Amino acid sequence: MANYEEVFKKVVAHAKEYGFIFQSSELYDGLAAVYDYGPNGSELKNNIRNYWWKSMVNMNENIVGLDSSIFMHPTTWKASGHVDAFNDPLIDNKDSKKRYRADVLIEDYVAKIEGKIEKEVKKAIKRFGDSFDKEQFVGTNPRVLGYKSKCMSIMQRFSEAMAANKLDDVKTLIKELGIVCPVSGTKNWTDVRQFNLMFKTQMGSTADGASDLYLRPETAQGIFVNFLNVQKTARMKIPFGIAQTGKAFRNEIVARQFIFRMREFEQMEMQFFVRPGKEMKWYEHWKDSRMKWHLSLGIDKELFRFHDHDNLAHYANAACDIEFKFPFGFKELEGIHSRTDFDLKSHQKHSGRKVQYFDPEINESYIPYVVETSIGLDRMFLTILSNSYKEEKVNGENRLVLSIPALLAPVKAAVLPLTKKDGLPEKAREILSLLQCDFLCQYEEKDSIGKRYRRQDAIGTPYCITVDHQSLEDNTVTVRDRDTMAQERVAIDRLYTLVSKKVDFRNYL
């Protein structure tokens, strides 16, 4: 399907129709950029989280887990820099009254120019055929070079203006580029202002002198303030990592891309503590390891790319994103950041307590450096969902299938008696009880078998197990594979092994 916007609309509608994702508080017309996960969605989300956790914690003997709280002492956020610097530059269009992130307006403008480069490349591939050398073409073609230099100069002007906090210059840039509001089509912009993204709340009753708290905007700080607790109790030696998954909250200015940008979302983060000076080696290691993790799920590697940050955050000495080609373009899925000793040092300063590690190998105490990998669970969910949504023609009929990796599929097998009588339901329930302790299965007896297959395809169930009259005689069933649609006669006592093998974590290593 060529029209990405249309595909995206279909994915969103499918997510609702099949119980993956609902708008939060829909009964009250919804709450913007907040979503609920339905029966299939919560399963898929749990499976993605478990896959990440197992890959990080089970498969690395030097990584341990943590589950820290959402509320933290308010000084945490002063020390981390979030109170003073966790801002986005916002701008309003006076005609449409719509609010935008100034950086996103500029980045989208640049992405359009990059799109032109891609078009030139495609044209050249057609022209030169097999003899085409992409690298040489983008390095020498005058039109492409012109586009590239335009992109670079825009991003440089933007970075410099942000670094110097010159918000007027950001507005001037938007005006000079002629960026218009997508809704009103006008250039009637307000000034650019900084907006803090943290949600504030209060703990205790006001009479007692309640203290202001924040809902955590990232899970990382829970790891930093527990660094010594974990290191000592789990007897960890540097280099080691702490992994955690959990909710984070950001009062996003613009939140219009379904679960890509939410105000309440979930992160899967791992902070890896290393000896100062070793961080670049580990940064490269985790870049490589995380890309492999994404590719392990069988997604086309052309849909991923690294994007180095031009604009480093106050705490980082190197940073990049793993971007995924969502239906609305390449966007950040995961961040890999070399955070130096910024956070631990700052917590040491603000708490007045030593946050140091004694390294027996070199007989020295120091504040470790940190390399983090940080991925949004909801964005990973959207990656899996949008990548697996497929419309196919089978024997002249439309088939809609979610080709979700079997390990992540919400339901692993559906058990389907061919008819509702002759003892077939009882036989089917026997099979269900063989499988259900280890695999989430569905029992379905309503509608024709074809319709039931289609329903299971639409939620991505890898196997449909059909019980028929022959099953009563020879204890075999028909197993239909979601992807090949091939049907095979299988002995009931082989089913458990068959499903186990299909969803085995080892297939993904």
The correct pick among 261, 294, 325, 482 for binding ligand ATP (CB under 6 A) is 261
The residue (of 45 and 455) whose beta carbon lies closer to ligand ATP is 45
Q: Does 381 bind ligand ATP (CB under 6 A)?
A: no
The residue (of 373 and 442) whose beta carbon lies closer to ligand ATP is 373
- Distances from the Cα of 231 to the Cα of 64, 139, 226, 256, 446, angstroms: 10, 49, 8, 41, 55
Interface with ligand ATP by CB under 6 A: which range of 20-28, 54-62, 369-377, 459-467? 369-377
Long-range own/partner contacts, residues 453-458 (CB < 8 A, 24 or more apart): 453/480, 454/399, 454/400, 456/411, 456/414, 456/482, 457/399, 457/400, 457/401, 457/402, 457/482, 458/14, 458/18, 458/400, 458/401, 458/402
Q: Does 417 bind ligand ATP (CB under 6 A)?
A: no
The residue (of 333 and 431) whose beta carbon lies closer to ligand ATP is 333
Nearest to 272 by CA among 245, 307, 304, 236: 236
Q: Does 376 bind ligand ATP (CB under 6 A)?
A: yes
CA angle 438, 43, 433 (to 5 degrees): 30
Q: Does 335 bind ligand ATP (CB under 6 A)?
A: yes
**How many of the other CB atoms lie within 10 Å of CB of 5?**
9
Q: Does 286 bind ligand ATP (CB under 6 A)?
A: no
Nearest to 174 by CA among 85, 89, 87, 115: 89
CA–CA separation, 407 vs 479, rounded Å?
18
- CB 47 to ligand ATP: min, Å: 18
Interface with ligand ATP by CB under 6 A: which range of 226-234, 262-270, 386-394, 434-442? 262-270
The structure tokens listed for 105 are: 């307006």
Helix (H) or strand (E) holding 288: helix 279-295
Do the beta carbons of residue 29 and residue 345 sit within 8 Å? no
Q: Does 294 bind ligand ATP (CB under 6 A)?
A: no
- CB 387 to ligand ATP: min, Å: 15
> Residues 6 or more apart from 493 whose CB is under 8 A from it?
475
Residue nearest ligand ATP by beta-carbon distance? 376
Q: Does 333 bind ligand ATP (CB under 6 A)?
A: yes
The residue (of 335 and 405) whose beta carbon lies closer to ligand ATP is 335
Number of residues this chain uses to bind ligand ATP (CB under 6 A)? 16
Helix (H) or strand (E) holding 337: strand 329-340
The residue (of 375 and 409) whose beta carbon lies closer to ligand ATP is 375
**Alpha helices, DSSP H only, in 296-362?**
342-351
184-223 residues near ligand ATP, rule: CB under 6 A: 218
The residue (of 219 and 461) whose beta carbon lies closer to ligand ATP is 219
The residue (of 56 and 236) whose beta carbon lies closer to ligand ATP is 56
Interface with ligand ATP by CB under 6 A: which range of 16-24, 49-57, 368-376, 402-410? 368-376
